[in-house]
Structure 1
């Protein structure tokens, strides 16, 4: 009787009142308890302590897993929020450009009929729009991707698998270093290009300078039916006129007032100057020090030729090209030396593994 009584009163494992066997199963822990009839309270206490330690370790592992899941979700949220914010900023700066293109009405400036600078013939552009997009988009992005991939590969060889750089995780996938750097550099480039174009458009629509081919495109006619061929209009500053525009499209009639500054010049100079500065900072190939300078010279010459073609095609006056080139170069210098420290910067969230005490 005494043995049975001691066995019934002494329980090797005491389960908390708030925790049922079903709760233990739901938490992913399975505990097997072999109950033996012993006559010493010391043995029973030791067994209970060991089981309690095992339960505490299981609770610790479960807590760490939950913390890891929470941090991973927080990492994804932060990265997506930062990318979304960067895109929103680009859209906010780029949206006025679209409004200018669709709804913009340039300033109505007058002219003199004997102004020789406005009597040049209409000529198609030497650097077409698709060429401009290739120069300003494909070339810079391609060069940045190639350089960053090469830098990442060389860095991986030097580290030999012992990289200590910050890790970026999105959707449980490690983002490679070259992709992060491309995002930063291309993002800065895109922002600078949009700012440069917006600056140019504000000047274009505010000044409304007439292009060198104004007479050929507009073919102005005064309210009294006279034209610039009539001697009565010689020496007069004409403000009220209508464009007959024979053979001219509505877009051409709008573009004839958007001479200052040159959009082609500002865009290509921004792209090529930014690219030259990027190569100066990131291209560190030891094989030939002249290769970097050769590429920089080629890129600047591409912008220089594009700007000169705008004068020879009678699209702009020389002062328009000069102003556009200065705007593009200034924007490239500002975004290259001002924004990289504060713009398009991820913040790594990668917790250190905690050691079990």
Structure 2
């Protein structure tokens, strides 16, 4: 149990760091752009998928899968099933917070304006100042999130959860019958992640490059956590893997 307490302390520290980065760390750089650039003239509107709903799905569904497989299947290490379940949850949350910390840092460092930047910023476009450099120099109003477009963390969260869930289910679900349920669940996770990412473009919350960067971040962190922090890919030894006849 001592390792679980250490994991909890690390997760709490990560949560504090993420909170600071998201709400207090100033944007250190903002790439200049021509005042009135059309790619920043989109309207500000509510998103198709709220952040609350996204986190409910990407935290709730994986944790439910951990509970089902860790508590209701044979223990692989001989340790308490509850302890194994809590370890899986801790590792998953650790990875998600790590990804969010990286993403918030990138948002602050890059300072890329969102597609609705000109709409909410209303930069003072004059003949002598046609080029927007920093929001505090050229904006009539300020909105912190307007200059934090890259990467798209909705996409990062969705694809982190999808990759982690797909690999976890692939390793733990060893039954070969029925053959369609496992790939159906994995496919549904991929479709949800893809849909959540695409809505960030259609809702004018992010540019396409922001979403691509967010997807890459989510996938890379998920693979890193799965390979370095978990035993997911070691669940099946050579003897445990199903054997098939050759014809």
Give the TM-score, by structure 1 length.
0.60
- Following TM superposition, by how much is the alpha carbon of 1:316 offset from its aligned partner in structure 2, in angstroms? 0.3
- Following TM superposition, by how much is the alpha carbon of 1:165 offset from its aligned partner in structure 2, in angstroms? 6.0
* Structure 2 match to 1:115: 37
- Following TM superposition, by how much is the alpha carbon of 1:233 offset from its aligned partner in structure 2, in angstroms? 5.8
Change (3 A) 1:111 1:193: same
Do structure 1's residue 90 and structure 2's residue 2 form an aligned pair?
A: no
- Following TM superposition, by how much is the alpha carbon of 1:148 offset from its aligned partner in structure 2, in angstroms? 2.5
Q: Deviations over 1:49-87 (max 9, x none)?
A: xxxxxxxxxxxxxxxxxxxxxxxxxxxxxx2x3222111
Q: Deviations over 1:183-237 (max 9, x none)?
A: 121111111101111111110000100000001111122xxxxx3xx5x268x32
Distance in 2 between the 1:188 and 1:268 partners? Answer: 17
Of residues 110, 133, 140, the one that matches 2:55 is 133
* Structure 1 match to 2:220: 330
Distance in 1 between the 2:28 and 2:46 partners? Answer: 24
Q: Give the 4+ runs in structure 1 shifted more than 6 A.
A: none
Q: Is this contact kept in 1: 2:158–2:193, CA < 8 A?
A: yes
* Structure 1 match to 2:229: 339
- Following TM superposition, by how much is the alpha carbon of 1:108 offset from its aligned partner in structure 2, in angstroms? 4.3
Do structure 1's residue 270 and structure 2's residue 160 form an aligned pair?
A: yes
Query: How much is the aligned-residue C-alpha RMSD, in angstroms?
Result: 2.1
* Structure 1 match to 2:24: 103
Q: Secondary structure of the equivalent of 1:325?
A: helix
* Aligned residue-pair number: 229
- Following TM superposition, by how much is the alpha carbon of 1:114 offset from its aligned partner in structure 2, in angstroms? 4.0
Distance in 1 between the 2:28 and 2:147 partners? Answer: 8
Question: Which runs of 5 or more residues in structure 1 are unaligned?
Answer: 1-78, 156-163, 168-174, 222-226, 342-357
Q: Is this contact kept in 2: 1:213–1:314, CA < 8 A?
A: yes
- Following TM superposition, by how much is the alpha carbon of 1:255 offset from its aligned partner in structure 2, in angstroms? 0.2
Q: Which protein, 1 or 2, shows the higher relative CO under an 8 Å CA cutoff with sep ≥ 6?
A: 2
Of residues 111, 128, 139, the one that matches 1:243 is 139
* Structure 1 match to 2:121: 218
Larger radius of gyration: 1
Do structure 1's residue 124 and structure 2's residue 18 form an aligned pair?
A: no
Do structure 1's residue 148 and structure 2's residue 70 form an aligned pair?
A: yes
